Structures are given as structure tokens and as C-alpha cells.
Amino acid sequence: MPAQAAHGYPSGASNPDCTMAPLRSARPRPLGRACSALALLGLTSAVSGCDALKGLASNSITGTVQVDGEAPASYKLTLYSFSKNQDAFDTSVCTSGDEGACLGRVDVSKLTTPVEAGEVVWTGNDFEIPEVPLDVSYILVAEGVDEVIVCTQDVVGYDEDSKLVTVDSAISIAGAELDGTELEAIALPRPVRLSCAAPSTAPEEPESTDPGEEPEVDLTEDGDIPAPAEVGWSSFTVTDPATGTSWGDASAGSSIAGPPCNEEFPSVLRVEGTALDSGATEAYIRVQFGSGDAAEIRTFPTPISGGTISQDISLSGGYAVVQLDTNDALDGVGESYTISFCERDAAPAQELLTILTWDVDNSDVDTHIYNNTEGTEVAYYSMSQSWGDLDIDDTDGFGPETFTTTPGTAGNLYQIKAHYYSDHGSGPTTATMRVVYYDAAAGITCDFSASQVMNSYDWWDVATVGPGMACPGGR
């Protein structure tokens, strides 16, 4: 299959230097390990051994592409080295225990200096990238190239458990013998995984629009979550994590939150609370979206430690009620007082809000939002675009992962997908996506939830939403 060649260093440049380049190889040599260690300490300028490594021959990288959906006309494979793109790697997420093994989380949109390598050779969906210069920390970015079909990207080089690029997860071409003997081609640790489809012009009904109903309860006359019969929390607050501003406090009684219900509505809110049951190991955040007959209630599990929780969530900017609970039943026992947001008839502040949750611990399901109008994507490898942001990438279970468009964004067509990145050995999960799309031109809010049983590496095409389109969930 034809493909665009991997790109790289400027023409005439020498092999990449060893700066900040940790070594990983099936046959590491002592000099390489020493160069790597000193590089991590910022001492490479004094290491003559790096010059010896630079003189070694190039190698090849081999792999295969797996496509969910329609195959594009061709693929683009681009290699990037950590040493030449350090500004694209967020090392603040690394812990002190990583001891230099963590290179951080990469933002694909910030990668600027690709690697110069040979033209990609294709045999069916198998490929070989020849003439890859010697370096010790590469990642591979894969894309589909087609005038009609749109593909998600994939990044090979992440650790599948932590979602960080590490010494062991990065692709390394540093295992050649010091006498110049070349290694055989380096095989990628996993296939490239893409999901591709032609953009929809009309919505398709999700396979399931029933994510599971909450237990029957007696709501207030206005259709809201009632105050608890037995209060289970000694404190419950909502703050703005970016500024520390307190938006609501329901520690002693139900309250009305303070953020503005317009384009300034915060995309992320921090929920914190202390349960009276200090032995509880799991808590639940219950959110009521909308009011009256249109209200939907969803309950999200969240970790609890020493009786306390701290969890970031996102709301649409429309009417919502938030409550904490020590069990998943809305039964009047173990619940907190409530905090309500916005007026009952308030429209969402964002054009699009999605909330992804799943029901298996120690597993990793990802949100993918493709903006067909802009031609760019928000996902774990590019969590922020000018038109929207993903709040977190939950790698170990339950979510919620919340995407919100940037206030003021309007008129875009969005493809909404979920990908079971890795089950970490935990098996299938049922993923649930809530979608709130506000068509400002028509003054109509599309609000629905859908669920899908997923196995590891499965893709789920949840829905396509946009201006003038019928709501996939019928609302």
C-alpha cells in the first residue's frame, strides 16, 4: 500500500545526538548505558562515548497497521525523537520514583522536528521504515491519508499501563554493536491501531441508548434529587481547581452554586468531600442533568481514601444537581446534601459535552472527539485544541473522562468515538457515553446516553452530531 515516507531531521544534519536520550535495547552495550545515564543528568557534552555511538549505522523499524472500519488511500508514518522534541513532552506527570526512566506524556500537536528516514516500504498492511538514524527514544505517529475517509491517529511508544513514554516503552535504535555490526530490523512492540470512516452527514442511532436506569426514587415536586434522610457526609464542596475559587458548599445543607451560567462556566470542577464512614473504600458522585421530566441521573464511582474524595468533573453549564453518596443507590442513606447549578431552563454553555464512564476497574477506555469542520482531534495524545479540551485521561478504571468544547465555539460537526486502549488483563467492560450537543442556531439541545460492551482494543462509533442534525438519541 502506498504511503508517505517518514520525515526527519533537516537535510544534511548528522545522526541525532544523545541529548536526554535513555537507552533501551535487546543487546545494550556498556558504553551505551553509560552515555544514557549521563545524558539524563545533562552531562552529554562531556561524553566522548556519544560520538562513538553517532558513527554507527542506521537501522530499520518494522510493524503492521490494523484498521477498524474503512481503510484510507494511504498512511503517513512519522518518527519523532525525544531528544529533538523535548518541548512536546510533559515531564511534570513523572513521579520522583521514576528515577529518570519516565520521559513524560507527549502532546502530538507540539511535535515539531520529525526524523529523516528512508521511504516506507509496504507489503499489504505490513511496513518497514529503512535508514532510521541511531537514537534511543523514538515515538511513531501514524495517520490515515484520504480525501474522504477520516482516521484517528495512533502513537506507538507509550507504556500501555501508565500512558507515559518511558525508557522501556520508547522505540530504540541504539542496539548496534560498537564495531559497526548492524542489528536486524527493530519490530514495534504492538500493531498500529486506527479507526477510520467517512464523515457522517446524518446521525446514526447508537447500538444502545439505554445505559441502565437508576433505582426508582421519590424526587421533589420539581423533579430534583431530594435531601438525604440520613446525611452521610460531614463536608461537601465544589471548587475551581485552576483558581481555588469556592463555587458551592453543601456541608451543612443544600446550596446553590455560584459560577456564571454562560460562556464563562468552568469546564472543570473539583468535587471534594469527607464521609462519616471513615472505613468506606469507594464513593459515588451522582449528577442530575436537567430538571423535571427531562432530567437524567447518572452515578459515577470514584476512589475514596481515609473517608475523603477529590475528583474533577465537568458539567454542561445547563441545569445540574450534584450529590455524594457512600453507595450507588439513591435510597436516602449515606448521601450528602446537594449543590445545584444554573437555572432550570438554562441552555448548555458549551456546544458539546461528552462524559465517558465504564464499569471495570484497572482498565483504560479513551475518548476520541474528531472535529470534521476543523480537521483535528482531541484524544489522550492531544488533549487540548483551540476548539475543545479533554479534562483527564483515566488509565485505571471507571472514568469519568469529560470533553467540553471551548466557550464561543459553534457550528462544528463532531464524530464521537471510544477506544478500549487496554484492559490490563481485567476483561470486557460496559462503556457509557453521555452526549450533550447544543445547536445554538436552532436553540435545540440534543441530550442522550448510550452504552456498549467492549473488549480490549475495540472501537465504538458512538454518534455524529452537528448543526441541523436530528438527535441520535431522539431527544
pLDDT reading at 370 higher than 90? yes
Output the CA torsion 210→212→218→221 (10° steps): -30
Tens of pLDDT along 92-111?
888 766 656 889 999 999 99
How many percent of the chain have pLDDT more than 90?
45
Q: What's the rounded Cα separation, in Å, for the pair 124 and 142?
A: 16
Least confidently predicted of 29-43, 50-64, 218-232? 29-43
Query: Confidence band (pLDDT; 50, 70, 90) for 184?
Result: low
Please report the pLDDT score of residue 392 as a whole number.
85
CA distances 296 to 54, 201, 257, 287, 466, Å, are 61, 28, 19, 8, 22
pLDDT per residue over 121-157, tens digit each? 999 999 999 999 887 789 999 999 999 999 999 999 9
Residue 259 pLDDT > 90? no
pLDDT > 70 fraction of the chain, expressed in percent and rounded: 79
CB 363 within 8 A of CB 160: no
Q: What is the pLDDT of residue 369?
A: 96
pLDDT the model gives residue 230: 84
Residue 216 — very low, low, confident or very high, per pLDDT cuts 50/70/90?
A: low
Confidence category of residue 261, pLDDT binned at 50, 70, 90: confident
Nine-digit cell string for 410: 459553534
pLDDT value at position 275? 95
Query: What is d(CA 407, CA 267) in angstroms, rounded to the nearest whole number?
Result: 9
User: Which range has the worst mean pLDDT, 77-91, 312-326, 365-379?
Assistant: 312-326
Q: What pLDDT, on the 0 to 100 scale, is given for residue 407?
A: 80
Q: What pLDDT score was predicted for residue 52?
A: 42
Q: What is the pLDDT of residue 77?
A: 96
Quick: pLDDT tens for 219-255.
676 678 888 888 999 999 999 988 889 999 999 999 9
C-alpha–C-alpha distance, residues 283 and 288, integer Å: 17
What pTM did the predictor assign? 0.72
pLDDT of 324 > 50? The answer is yes
Give the mean pLDDT of the chain. 80
Residue 238 CA to residue 312 CA, distance in Å, equals 9
Domains of the chain by range and CATH?
Answer: 3-197 (no CATH), 199-212+348-475 (2.60.40), 223-343 (2.60.40)
> Could you tell me the three cell numbers for 261?
451560567
